[in-house]
Amino acid sequence: METLEIIKDKETAIKEPVSISGSQAVLEAFIAEGVHTVFGYPGGAIMPIYDALYDYNDKLKHILVRHEQGAIHAAQGFARTSGKVGAVFATSGPGATNLVTGLADAMIDSTPIVCVTGQVFAHLLGTDAFQETDVINITTPVTKWNYQITDATEIPHVLAKAFYIARTGRPGPVLIDITKNAQIQKIDYEGYKKCEHIRSYRPKPIVRKEYVEEAAKLINEAKKPFVIFGQGVILGKAEREFKAFIEKGGLPAAWTVLGLSALPTDHPLNVGMLGMHGNYGPNVLTNECDVLIAIGMRFDDRVTGRLDKYAKQAKIIHLDIDPAEIDKNVKTAVPVWGDCKETLPLLTKLIDKKEHTDWLNKFHEFTKKETEIVINDELHPTGEQLTMGEVIQLLNELTNGDAVIVTDVGQHQMVACRYAKFNQSKSNITSGGLGTMGFGLPAAIGAKYGAPERTVVAIIGDGGFQMTIQELGTIMQFGAAVKILILNNQFLGMVRQWQELFNDKRYSFVDIQSPDFVQVAKGYHIAGSKVSKREELKTALATMLDHKESYLLEVMVSKENNVFPMVPQGCSVSEIRLQ
């Protein structure tokens, strides 16, 4: 069967309607939306779509994952490195429920995803049919929007809506559930029309000049202004506007884990990481600044610590595209609603050119102290065992900060975020809001498809790797050249750290055994090696990076190292502990 040549144009009106199946209409929509890669897994209720896919092989690359959770994490990784919408196919029932973790992750981290799930025939809905689950209701809390299609004539405009909703405003995951009869049904297809407006949906609030002016006034009067930024800068594609803003105002800027890489690591105004395992200065000085300028971030509790002792002395300016974020956790003095791509230049125009040298130096003093007490030992340890920090440090030297770093969740994630060097945006891919172990490997596969020209390094713990280890099969079959760097501390390290610090070292089920990872990789025809000695580390890392294909390097690190600094849960950011 021929596929229809109706790509590119925004409006692809066909003169004579053609008869196509609902399944074809789905694929035409994907292509018209610029989707070239789909991550998925077939099954009974989505078979008509997979049958149609057979003829679209040249236009739509389908990556067969090993578990649907892997499909959606891969789509997330793809979206985060490419800035485009990630696409997923899954079948009904277990296929769809396997997506839930990824949907929740994409929802909380504002990642644009469109999932299409198959569903049983419409006449079987509600009958407990084979592989029927109420996917719409299961996924409602974890999707920006979802919709069930039972009639194929709805497919073109509903998919247009799905892509529009997923990528505009504050992005998020959308799920479209299509009953099998609708996939088979023939429709008179008149071409694809992209969605540009939904009456009940306002992706961008209108920028109110008076608030921009008020914000500028506060910034101009400030003696100790402090910028904290999140992923909003990246999602808004506003990295340049952001840089211009902080540079004109001489504003020290610290990032959340999801904001990381929006500003190059070595930018003179980049003062480091916020939050529980963030840097010393940014945490302590949050409670000393006089004006706190929050940009595209949502005051997560891992960032704020104890709220009633958070930046109480400061006037808070909050720039965000999502009105529901304003005042949600922290009361704002000036809310600047809008897309930061628009609001930042307006603000930059109104602020005075300044250098807050003394104030910036204060951050440097804290860095000095943190370096003496924490960073030196982490990056240049004198003990025999390797630290996670020195591995990241060597990696920086070898990649020069040009790699995409994907992490899983745990100690290695915090260490990677703290020490990895970044020169360009969209380079740090991590599960920030949900903290999903098992995210790393599939997300790295997707990240590689999203940025094929870049080196992608997946830094993963020995625990988290075992949660989605089966995706090695996806790499084997489709060849994503992902570099897998396992930092093996032979523990569920982050939980062990908490048990050591807060539960009297009562190590309860954190002692996790691992298979021989190098042998496992070998079973999947992926090359690999294992190191535990300092003198072998650099060569091993270089071998991994130089290898043309995917490569697995397992590094044995110190078993009981802790990540510091740390703001213990329930403490104020200024009570951050260095040891």
Ligand X SMILES: Cc1ncc(C[n+]2csc(CCOP(=O)(O)OP(=O)(O)O)c2C)c(N)n1
Active site residues: 68, 130-131, 180, 494
Answer yes or no whether residue 492 interacts with ligand X by CB under 6 A: yes
Residues 69-108 that bind other proteins (CB under 8 A): none
Question: How near is the Cβ of 76 to ligand X at its closest, in Å?
Answer: 15
Q: Which is nearer to ligand X, 356 or 483 (CB)?
A: 483
Q: Kindly report the three-state secondary structure assignment for every residue of 23-59.
A: HHHHHHHHHHCCCCEEEECCCHHHHHHHHHHCCCCCC
- CA atoms of 312 and 381, how far apart (whole Å): 38
| CB of 324 vs other proteins, minimal distance in Å | 4
Separation of alpha carbons 330 and 318, rounded Å:
9
Smaller CB distance to other proteins: residue 205 or 442?
Answer: 205
Q: Per CB under 8 A, does 357 bind other proteins?
A: no
- Contact partner, 84, from other proteins, ligand X, none, Cβ < 5-8 Å per class: none
Amino acid identity of 222? A
Residue 199 touches other proteins, criterion: CB under 8 A:
yes
Using the rule CB under 6 A, is 412 a contact of ligand X? Answer: yes
Return the beta strands (E) in 164-295 as ranges: 173-179, 186-189, 225-229, 253-255, 270-273, 291-295
Give CA 57 to chain center in angstroms: 28
Q: If binding is defined by CB under 8 A, does position 200 make contact with other proteins?
A: yes
Q: Is-contact 69 443, C-beta < 8 A?
A: no
Nearest partner of 295 among 355, 324, 337, 353, judged by Cα = 337
Among the listed ranges 38-46, 318-326, 377-385, 483-491, the one in contact with ligand X (CB under 6 A) is 483-491
Q: Which does 7 bind (CB under 5 to 8 A by kind): ligand X, other proteins, none?
A: none
Q: Which of the listed partners (ligand X, other proteins, none) does 202 bind, with a CB threshold of 5 to 8 Å by partner kind?
A: other proteins
Binding range to other proteins, per CB under 8 A, among 317-325, 394-402, 415-423, 432-440: 317-325
Residue 494 contacts which entry, ligand X, other proteins, none (Cβ below 5-8 A, type-dependent): ligand X
Q: Whose CA is closest to 458, among 389, 554, 374, 333?
A: 554
Is residue 504 close enough to count as binding other proteins by CB under 8 A? no
330/340 with CB nearer other proteins? 330
Tokens 């409006």 found at: 11
By CB under 6 A, name the one of 40, 86, 446, 463 that touches ligand X. Answer: 463
CB 553 to ligand X: min, Å: 15
Q: Which does 489 bind (CB under 5 to 8 A by kind): ligand X, other proteins, none?
A: ligand X
Helix (H) or strand (E) holding 336: strand 334-337
Residues forming beta bridges with residue 342, ordered by sequence position = none
Selection from 83, 21, 84, 85 nearest residue 56 by Cα: 21
Residues that bind ligand X (CB under 6 A): 408-412, 435-438, 461-464, 487, 489, 491-495
